Amino acid sequence: MSQRAFLYNLQFIDNQIDKILDRIASIDTKINSNQEIVESENILKSIQAKFNLKKAEISELESQSNILSKILLQNNNALYDGKIKNPKELQSVEDEGISLNKRIKNLEDRIFDMMLENELIEKELNNQMEIHQTLSRNKKNEIDELNSEKLILIESLDKLRIEKSPIEKQIKNELLEKYAMLRETRSKMAVAVISENACSACGNIITPAEIQKIKSPIDEYYCQICKRILYYN
C-alpha cells in the first residue's frame, strides 16, 4: 500500500473519530444544560414564598383577633359581674365592647378573604410542583439515555483508536505532520479522491497524465488548486 493509501484510510478513521467526539460533546452539553429545571424551580420557590407570606399574614391577623377576643371576654365579664356601679363607667365599658366586636368582625372578614386568596395560591403551587416533578423525571430519563449512548460511543472510539494505530505506524512522520496540518486548515479533509477526473474536494480537472502519476505509488501528490493530497481510490 502506498503512503497515500494509508493516509486515505487514516482519514477515514479520523473522520469517524471526529464525528463521535462531536456527538459526545453535544451529549455533554445536553446533560449539563438544566435551564428549564432551574427556571421551574425558581417559579416554584416564588409561589412557595408568596404562599408562606400570605400564611404569615393570616396568622398575624388571627393572633390580633385572639387578643381582641380575650379583651372582649374580660370586658363582658366586667359588664355583667356587677362590680361596676357608676353608670358612666358602665356606658364606657359597653361602648368599648361594641368597638371590640366591630374590630374582631373586621379582622375575621379580612382573614376569610386572605384564606380564599391563599387557596388559589396553593392550587398554583401544587400545579407548579407537578410541572417541576415531570420536568425533573423527564430530565433524569434523558440523562440516562444520553449516558448509555455515550458509553457505546466511547467503546467505538476505543476500537477506532486501536484500528488507527497500526495504520499510523506505516506512515512517515513528516507526512503525518503534513496530513495533520492539512486536516486542520482544510475542513478536516487532507486527502481528496479523484472523482470523474476531478479533485473531489475543489473540482479541479485532472489530466490523464496526472491521473497516471496519482495512481502510481509515489508518496506525495497534491491538487494544484486546493493543495490537498490526491488519491485515486
Cα–Cα dist 155/207, whole Å? 44
Instruction: Give the nearest distance from C-beta 177 to Zn ion in angstroms.
Output: 20
Burial class (CB in 10 A: 0-12, 13-18, 19+), 134: exposed
Instruction: Give the nearest distance from C-beta 214 to Zn ion in angstroms.
Output: 12
Q: Are 177 and 215 in contact (CB under 8 A)?
A: no
3-state secondary structure of 194: strand
Using the minimum distance from each CB to Zn ion, give the nearer residue, 43 or 226.
226
Using the minimum distance from each CB to Zn ion, give the nearer residue, 20 or 230.
230
Instruction: Give the nearest distance from C-beta 232 to Zn ion in angstroms.
Output: 13
Name the site residues for Zn ion (rule: CB under 5 A): 199, 201-202, 204, 223, 225-226
Cα–Cα dist 183/55, whole Å? 66
Neighbours of 128 (CB within 10 A): 18
Using the minimum distance from each CB to Zn ion, give the nearer residue, 54 or 179.
179
Cα–Cα dist 61/42, whole Å? 29
Using the minimum distance from each CB to Zn ion, give the nearer residue, 180 or 203.
203
Instruction: Give the nearest distance from C-beta 222 to Zn ion in angstroms.
Output: 8
